[in-house]
Amino acid sequence: MTATRTPRATPAAPAPAAQDAPGTKEGLLRRLRPATVPVAVLLVLALLPYSALDVPVLLDGPVNSPGSLQLFALCLVFGALALGYDLMFGRTGLLSFGHALYIAGGSYGTQLAMTELGLGLGPAALLTLVLGALAALVLGAVSLRTLALGSVGFAMVTLAFAQAGSIYVERNPGGLTGGEEGLPLYVEGVPDALVGVGNTVNVYWLALAYLVLVAAVVWTVTARPAGRVWQAIRDNEQRVAVLGRSPFAHKLGAFVLASSLAVLGGVLHLLVTAGATPHTSTPEFTLTLMVMVVLGGSGTRWGPVVGGVLFTYLDQRLGGWDLGAEPMLILGSLFVLAVYLAPGGITALGRRRHT
């Protein structure tokens, strides 16, 4: 008589731990964990003006001295400008050589709105932002049409627009732009809390607020469907078109958004440097932003910010150190070395260490 064998029961999969449930304390901490680093960094930066720590060599005075805070504010502004430029360059794959045009537009436009129209800083900045966004919409639509000739055509057209703006600034028509000397900040149109050495801390906090705004906009938009379409356009534009999406509309949206953030950055640059300078209108200024993005890591979350802050700090400080060589030669050599050691940018070093 053959004995029948009873089949074994398949063991049930273990139920998920109760502490991982979304409504539990552990689940809440897990969702909040990615935000801990940005919040910690923001807290440190916000409290920086309260620190009297003296850092020899790295700074000329205490952390909360006007000179140090002005340097920090400039670093924050350029970190935000690089992050906004990466919205086109790293996220969408648009190589623009004309980004400086909108930064200079924000700086000179706000200054002229205060001096020629008698507006205060707030209304002048708002008017400049609206006009700058409209200019970006028109010039961006014209420039993107040249993509049928390849990415080089788009780069050259944006370069031509930037070069035209730079020539206009240098020729100083009607004495409006100040030519090679630029324009000093029109303090009568600026609130008293943002004028003077004693109020450098307020300008620093305003620069920090600008960085937070740009980061919030860029990180939020890139995490949404539009951001995923931008990434798809960068990787394979034809596939995006086959799927029924409009590459032109999405690229124009990225161009206008990045240019609008640049216009606002020009306003902050005007306040931090206490004047509108012709250097901000040159194509070389855009190349500097590109170097910042590549240095930190294009298309990454923190890379452009890190690259912008580090490049600006070294650019400002190398001249004060007796290194026996031209500061730009040293800075260029450091950039080449950084690209060689970290092809994906400085922030890629941390990812490599964890893989």
Q: Kindly report, residue by residue over 79-98, the tens digit of the pLDDT.
A: 999 999 999 999 998 999 99
**Domain limits of the chain?**
65-294
DSSP 8-state symbol, 64: T
Q: How far apart are CA 38 and CA 277, in angstroms?
A: 32
Q: What is the mean pLDDT of residues 5-28?
A: 53
Output 27 or 65, whichever has higher pLDDT. Answer: 65
Model pLDDT, residue 146:
78
Question: For residue 207, which amino acid is it?
Answer: A
345: pLDDT strictly greater than 90? no
Output 111 or 151, whichever has higher pLDDT. Answer: 111
Q: How far apart are CA 119 and CA 124, in angstroms?
A: 6
5: pLDDT strictly greater than 70? no
Q: What pTM was computed for the model?
A: 0.88
Q: How far apart are CA 251 and CA 231, in angstroms?
A: 10
The count of C-alpha atoms lying within 13 angstroms of the C-alpha of 83, restricted to the half-sphere facing its C-beta, is 27
3-class DSSP assignment, residue 61: coil
Kindly give the residue spans of alpha helices, DSSP state H, lying in 65-179: 66-89, 100-116, 121-145, 151-171
Q: Kindly report, residue by residue over 108-140, the tens digit of the pLDDT.
A: 999 999 999 999 999 999 999 999 999 999 999
Give the CA-trace dihedral at 323, 324, 326, 330, to 10 degrees.
Answer: -50
Q: How far apart are CA 230 and CA 227, in angstroms?
A: 5
Q: Is 93 left (phi over 0), alpha (psi -120 to 50) or beta?
A: left
CA 330 to chain centre: 24
Q: What is the mean pLDDT of residues 284-296?
A: 93
Quick one: pLDDT band at residue 24, thresholds 50, 70, 90? low
